[in-house]
Amino acid sequence: MFLVTTSDERTWKTDEKTLFLGEWCRLYNRKAIWSQIDHGVAPYHWDDRERLHRDFKYLEGVYESYLALLVDKLNSIHGCCQSNRYWRIVIGPWLRYFIEVLYDRYLSIAELPDSKKITSTYLLQVDPWSMVPDTVRELYSNSDSDHFNGFLYAEIIKFLQAVPYEIIAAKNPSLKSPPASKSIAMPGMLLKVLQFYSKLLPDRLKRVVFFASGFGELNMALLSLKLSQIPFWVPNIIMGHTEVDRQLRKQLQISTGRGDFEQLLDSLLHLQIPKIYLEGFQKIRNNILQVFPKQPKIILTANGYNSNDIFKIWAAEKTAKDAKLVIAQHGGNFGMALWGQSEDHQVAIADKFYIWGRPNRSENHLQQMSAGKLLRAKKNLVPSENGKMYMVLAELPRTSYWMYSIPVASQFLNYIEDQIAFLQNLDEQPLNDLKLRLFPSVYGWGVKERLVDSGFGNIIEKGRDPFLTALNRHKLCISTYNSTTYLETFVADYPTIIFWNPNHWELRPQAQPYFDSLKNVGILHDTPQTAAKLINQIYDNPGKWWRQPHVQEAKNRFCSAFVKADDKWLNEWAVELGKMC
């Protein structure tokens, strides 16, 4: 039996019985190819969701131990004596993410059923040094690609000697997954002008620095003025090309000797730590310190802590000199999901973590504040009684990435099946009264093609207006995953129905009663069938159903616990930040 690890068809054999490592190998738009192969698909280790949660806790411990090791190594390499917190801010997101991604790929190979029956697999010839990422953002981008995953699976197979393999030359380009959509940024020239102007401002007018704050440009400017400082924009720095320094990376090699996985991790960390933390660190740090604000009192961000290495280095430098790092919640799921490494990381690095809901963790630096990101929705979102219903779909990577309570890898196929089952259970009139909004990023699952093949292509939205603009033309939002969407509609008192599989979107015990209240009044459903049944009854006038006192009471109770959006947000934030300056 021949083993296939990715959807890169250069590594396939079409004339031999095949085992696909996972559903990520079988791109829907290549069904004509793989359906002709005599094949099976290996079971996925994290279909056991209790095990997934246990592994999450295990990897938390692995992360902490390796962070401590890397703190010592990086301080030695860079001739400094920075704290654990400093390096947690800078490298924490990369290290946790890489550990989790590698462990998932490791389990796929280490726990192959009947591995002795596998006769061979093809590994593409790849120079490991060519796989070193420049930044953490590059790793995030790589982690769903066949090229990167093929490299990881090859390293794991060679390390474990798990199955026979043959190394083949990569002569032709691989099939590429459809590109993810790009976010719309401020026009380049305007941004440069604003950043130049910002550098001219004295430090006393830059006590509070907003970076990817989630407030939006106008609200950020209003809040700056309220704080008696002039609005400014942080300069943009781009890391130039940096060559890999193999000798330098040898200094980072670690040898723990604890079990197969950690020995594998030891062998790959020095190959996968981004250049910006090693070869490019000193130069980029010096540039940052020259052009970023020099004496901030407060650094406020919503998502700069994650993928923006430039920001993280500057924030680490300034928090080491008594600036306060303040993180504002940037999206849904926080305080709700049973587990989530991003939430844990933010709590760990922040001096203050401002969340939209009432804190349900033991840490005392969490505080409920009005949700800057939801202000626009509350102010501008109004249902159209003559509009159609609007169904909002998700899409997730084909392989495991961030670890939190979501469908993982092939479990996303269950999500797609639920969406199709929902549509199949709608009566003709409500189905004709519905529009589907696809997720902007595409990961190769063929969501649109599957919907078209199931007979629902005619209700897929054509064009793509901003979410709130589109919602204003509709009368009901149907939300299908645990994220920001339904929080935006809730704060705007916009008719909303939610359904998801509770086995894939696990909730923490403190949050469960509030979601149970939503279920009791028909807002939240565990199955697509019950959601469709209610919509068949109310589709003609969902506003009438939504305005019922018991429905409003459940929604308002939920909002009080998870989504504060006060009309007096400006004073609220100005007073809070003013106390910290």
How confident is the model over 440-489, as pLDDT tens digits?
999 999 999 999 999 999 999 998 899 999 999 999 999 999 999 999 99
Which residues make beta-bridge pairs with 435?
Answer: 390
* pLDDT tens per residue across span 304-356: 999 999 999 999 999 999 999 999 999 999 999 999 999 999 999 999 999 99
pLDDT, mean of residues 499-504: 98
What is the torsion angle, in degrees rounded to the nearest 10, for the CA atoms of residue 134, residue 139, residue 142 and residue 148?
90
**Max Cα distance, the chain (Å):** 72
- Provide the 3-class DSSP secondary structure of residue 299: strand
Query: In angstroms, rounded to a whole number, what is the distance separating the alpha carbons of residues 432 and 427?
Result: 9
* pLDDT tens per residue across span 184-232: 344 455 545 555 655 666 666 679 999 999 998 899 999 999 999 988 7
| The predicted structure's pLDDT at residue 179 | 39
Per-residue pLDDT for 374 more than 50? Answer: yes
| The predicted structure's pLDDT at residue 198 | 58
| The predicted structure's pLDDT at residue 186 | 41
The mean pLDDT value of the chain amounts to 92
List the one residue out of 449, 450, 445, 448 whose CA is nearest residue 24.
Answer: 445
End-to-end Cα spacing for the chain: 66
DSSP-derived letter for residue 479 is: E
* pLDDT tens per residue across span 230-256: 887 777 788 888 999 999 999 999 988
| The predicted structure's pLDDT at residue 184 | 36
Name, in order, each residue with C-beta under 8 angstroms of 394's C-beta and a sequence gap of 6 or more.
Answer: 415, 439, 480, 481, 483
pLDDT, mean of residues 53-75: 97
* pLDDT tens per residue across span 256-285: 878 999 999 999 999 999 999 999 999 999
Band (178; pLDDT cuts 50, 70, 90):
very low
Query: In angstroms, rounded to a whole number, what is the distance separating the alpha carbons of residues 287 and 193?
Result: 19
Beta strands in 454-578 (DSSP E): 474-479, 496-499, 524-525
Per-residue pLDDT for 395 more than 80? Answer: yes
Q: List the domain boundaries for the chain.
A: 2-87+116-177+244-272, 188-239+286-371+566-580, 382-562
% of residues, the chain, pLDDT over 70: 94
The pairing of strands 388-392 and 120-124 is unpaired
Query: In angstroms, rounded to a whole number, what is the distance separating the alpha carbons of residues 30 and 382?
Result: 42
Chain centre distance of CA 448: 21
Beta strands in 448-565 (DSSP E): 474-479, 496-499, 524-525
Name, in order, each residue with C-beta under 8 angstroms of 130's C-beta and a sequence gap of 6 or more.
Answer: none
* pLDDT tens per residue across span 508-524: 999 999 999 999 999 99
Long-range Cβ pairs for the range 53-58 (8 Å, 24+): 53/338, 53/339, 53/506, 55/103, 55/107, 56/339, 56/341, 56/403, 57/339
Residue 506 phi/psi, 5-degree rounding, is -65, 145
Query: In angstroms, rounded to a whole number, what is the distance separating the alpha carbons of residues 208 and 206?
Result: 5
3-state secondary structure 184-231: CCCCHHHHHHHHHHHHHCCHHHCCEEEECCCCCHHHHHHHHHHCCCCC
- Provide the 3-class DSSP secondary structure of residue 363: coil
Cβ count near 344 (within 10 Å): 17
| The predicted structure's pLDDT at residue 46 | 98
Which residues make beta-bridge pairs with 124?
Answer: 168
| The predicted structure's pLDDT at residue 235 | 76
% of residues, the chain, pLDDT over 90: 86
Chain centre distance of CA 393: 16
| The predicted structure's pLDDT at residue 175 | 42
* pLDDT tens per residue across span 88-115: 999 999 999 999 999 999 999 999 987 7
The radius of gyration computed from the CA coordinates of the chain, to the nearest angstrom, equals 25
CATH fold group of domain 382-562: Rossmann fold (3.40.50)
Per-residue pLDDT for 12 more than 90? Answer: yes
